[in-house]
Each structure stands twice: as C-alpha cells, then as structure tokens.
C-alpha cells in the first residue's frame, strides 16, 4: 500500500465501494423488489440510482432494469482493473491487486487467525 499515493488508494476505495454496492443491489433485487420498504433495499437504490442514471447513455436499451446495476458495476471493475493501472503504471496480478479487496482479505485472514 505504501507505494501508492493516498489519493490513488482513496479513489480506488470509492470506486470499489460503488462497485460492490451495485453488485449488492443486483443480488438483493433477486429476492426483494426494488420498490420494497426494506431499509437495505432503499439504501441500495438511493446510493446506486445516480450511478445508473449517469451510465444510461452507454447502457444498451435491451438490458432489463434488474441487470443495469450489474452492468454499471462491470464498468467500474473495468476502470479499476485496466484504466487505473494503465494511468498509474502498476501491474495487476489478480483481484488482490486492488487496495480495497486486498485490505478486506487481510482483515478476513486476521480474523481467521484470532478465531483459530
């Protein structure tokens, strides 16, 4: 982590959080209607609707509404996986090359060591 400026890490965390929130909305929409009064679904819709509206011009019209969050999450993943390393000049060696996911994996590993 120390080899990257803090701004890069913060930007990746923001993109990663947005990507995982979109994936969460898609996953929850399988079981709960998007118009539901369930608190978590309301939060997912509130936070992700602006991203989906911004990406509306590049979203194919044949895509059903339920898949649009997953499509936008894919765009964010592509930015994180291809564009950021290209611009910043670092190598990508898999999912744990992302600062957000790498830190999450370390936390899970540390928790596993505690409860062993």
**Does 1 map to a domain?**
no
Question: Domain limits at 78?
Answer: 6-114
Six-digit token string for 53: 């509206």
Query: Does the residue 74 lie in any domain?
Result: yes
Is residue 55 within 8 A of residue 99, CB to CB? The reply is no
pTM: 0.80
pLDDT tens sequence across 60-107? 999 999 999 999 999 999 888 888 877 776 666 555 467 777 788 888
Q: Does the residue 79 lie in any domain?
A: yes
* Residue at token pair 């592509």: 78
Residue 45 in any domain: the answer is yes
Q: How many domains does the chain have?
A: 1
**106 in a structural domain:** yes
Both tokens of residue 112? 């596993």
Read off φ and ψ for residue 90, nearest 5 degrees. -115, 160
> How confident is the model over 3-38, as pLDDT tens digits?
667 887 888 889 999 999 999 999 999 999 989 999
Residue 34, classed as helix, strand or coil, is coil
């Amino acid at each position: 982590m120390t080899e990257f400026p803090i701004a890069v890490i913060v930007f990746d965390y923001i993109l990663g959080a947005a990507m995982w929130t979109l994936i969460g909305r898609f996953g929850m929409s399988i079981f709960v209607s998007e118009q539901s009064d369930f608190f978590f679904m309301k939060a997912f819709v509130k936070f992700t609707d602006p991203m989906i509206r911004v990406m509306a011009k590049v979203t194919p019209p044949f895509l059903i509404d339920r898949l649009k969050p997953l499509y936008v999450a894919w765009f964010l993943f592509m930015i994180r996986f291809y564009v950021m390393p290209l611009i910043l000049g670092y190598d990508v060696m898999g999912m744990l090359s992302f600062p957000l996911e790498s830190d999450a994996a370390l936390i899970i590993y540390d928790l596993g060591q505690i409860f062993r």
